[in-house]
């Protein structure tokens, strides 16, 4: 049985935040050992996490844009001191946008039948062995991982 929560604090076990089209909750938080259903959207949870680390989502996003020139699907350094960096799979305003926590990603693979540059699906392989299929091309995921790695280097996550 999955736990239903009114609020959720992103932590070192958070691997992904997935949008949910459900009457009782808006997000599925995937942690290393469990899944939780939350009554806030993934974007609201990311915003809250930035505030908990004494900054705003807008401020973190603007800093990344300033240093790297990224305009879309900007990675967010939620808490650089705690090595917490996240990247969106789609535009954050898009309902289908999932947020993936960089430190948990081991590898990304094309889903069967997809190639690197198609608009098909890909599989995110997490360090605990769990796999998550997403509706994003391998090219986009690799680009997002590279961008997030650059943020980690710049903002001290390594």
Average pLDDT over residues 4-8: 95
Q: What is the pLDDT of residue 5?
A: 95
Q: Helix, strand or coil for residue 87? A: strand
Q: What is the pLDDT of residue 112?
A: 78
pLDDT tens digits, one per residue of 110-124:
987 655 555 689 999
In a domain, 28, yes or no: yes
Hey, which bits of the chain come out as E strands?
Answer: 3-5, 14-19, 27-31, 35-38, 76-79, 84-88, 99-101, 105-110, 122-126, 131-134
In a domain, 112, yes or no: no
Average pLDDT over residues 14-18: 98
Q: Is the pLDDT of residue 158 over 90?
A: no
Q: What is the pLDDT of residue 156?
A: 78
Q: Is the pLDDT of residue 138 over 70?
A: yes
Q: What is the pLDDT of residue 140?
A: 95
In a domain, 115, yes or no: no
How far is it, in rounded angstroms, from Cα 77 to Cα 100? 12
In a domain, 32, yes or no: yes
In a domain, 129, yes or no: no
As a whole number, the mean pLDDT across the chain is 93
In a domain, 113, yes or no: no
In a domain, 83, yes or no: yes
- pTM > 0.85: yes or no: yes
How far is it, in rounded angstroms, from Cα 23 to Cα 45? 18
User: Residue 31 sits in which domain range?
Assistant: 3-103+138-155
Tell me the two tokens of residue 132.
């998550």
Residue 149 vs residues 6, 27, 35, 71, 124: alpha-carbon distances, Å: 32, 25, 26, 16, 16
In a domain, 20, yes or no: yes
Hey, which bits of 9-130 come out as E strands?
Answer: 14-19, 27-31, 35-38, 76-79, 84-88, 99-101, 105-110, 122-126
Number of domains in the chain: 1
pLDDT tens digits, one per residue of 32-65:
999 999 999 999 999 999 999 999 999 999 999 9
């Amino acid at each position: 049985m999955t736990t239903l929560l009114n609020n959720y604090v992103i932590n070192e076990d958070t691997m992904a935040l997935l949008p949910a089209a459900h009457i009782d909750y808006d997000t599925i938080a995937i942690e290393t050992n469990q899944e939780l259903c939350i009554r806030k959207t993934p974007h609201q949870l990311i915003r809250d996490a930035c505030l908990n680390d004494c900054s705003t989502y807008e401020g973190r996003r603007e800093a990344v844009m300033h240093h790297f020139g990224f305009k879309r699907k900007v990675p967010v350094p939620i808490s650089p001191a705690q090595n917490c960096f996240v990247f969106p799979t789609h535009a954050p305003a898009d309902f289908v946008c999932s947020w993936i926590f960089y430190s948990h990603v081991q590898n990304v693979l094309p889903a069967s039948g997809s190639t690197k540059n198609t608009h098909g699906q890909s599989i995110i392989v997490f360090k605990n062995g769990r796999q998550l299929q997403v509706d994003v091309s391998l090219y986009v995921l690799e680009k997002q991982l590279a961008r997030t790695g650059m943020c980690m280097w710049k903002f001290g996550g390594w």
